[in-house]
Amino acid sequence: MNQQRDVGVGQGAVRVSERRSVIAAGAVAGIVGPILFTVTFVVQGLFRREEYDPVAAVVSALEAGPGGWVQQVNFVVFGLLTIAFVVGLHLRLRPTRWGFIGPSLLLLSGMALVWAAVFRLREAAAGVTYDPGLHFVGGVTYFLSSALGLIVVSRRLAADSRFPHLGGYALGAGITGVALFVLMGVFVVPEDAPLHAWAGLAQRIVIVVVLFPCTVVVALRLLRVTRADDAPL
């Protein structure tokens, strides 16, 4: 009996260790993903200055043209890293009723990034960038699901004592993201909108100033909490 109990305890310890490894990997993905994505599209813009204006053109416009495959890969990598982060976060946060909704929305944002790579923007013979029809769906889904996901998951962050104050931060970032999404839809995205010429800058403000920092901060805390759990008593 003692031997069977020891085996059971050993297997349980292995499962806990594996779970923590998954959470830690997800935390690292949440830190690396936004940073790598940002660095990659910034470097691309620098190398393509003659044909690409980051103030006027959105990040997805980098998919158009001969070197567009780089941004496609960037979208896929970021999407997969986002999914890994969401899995790790969901596993670590204290379970709550309907607690799966927030992570599900964030998971959808990762899938939307992959969608944006598959249904990429293209360049016409005249050099004009255009959407064949489905890329826009991925873009809208990403921004909306990211912002709404932060709003919903903020409840689980606030309910977990290991993530102090991050619930309020996620809530504020999510609400700001939704508000900016609506404002961009009215004043930036339409071709005849008054701020359409600043579409690239507006998009970068939403992701680099609002959404990405929140993800990285939560991921950093997730990594610290996981390492603290692994630390010897």
Torsional sign, CA 49, 54, 56, 61: positive
Mean pLDDT value of segment 117-135: 90
Q: Which of 139, 133, 25 is nearest to 86 (CA)?
A: 25
Cα–Cα dist 155/21, whole Å: 25
Provide, rounded to the nearest whole percent, the portion of the chain with pLDDT above 70.
Answer: 92
Decide if pLDDT at 54 tops 80. yes
Side chain identity, residue 163? F
Domain ranges, residue 121: 2-230
Side chain identity, residue 82? T
Residue 229 is predicted with a pLDDT of 76
Q: Which of 92, 81, 93 is nearest to 16 (CA)?
A: 92
Cα–Cα dist 30/12, whole Å: 27
Count Cα neighbours of 226 within 13 Å in the Cβ-side half-sphere: 25
Decide if pLDDT at 233 tops 50. no
Residue 1 is predicted with a pLDDT of 55
Counted domains in the chain: 1
**Phi, psi (rounded to 5 degrees) for 130:** -145, 160
Condensed to tens digits (0 to 9), the pLDDT of residues 77-95 reads: 999 999 999 999 999 999 8
Decide if pLDDT at 184 tops 90. yes
Band of the pLDDT at 28, cuts 50, 70, 90? very high
Cβ atoms of 24 and 227 closer than 8 Å: yes
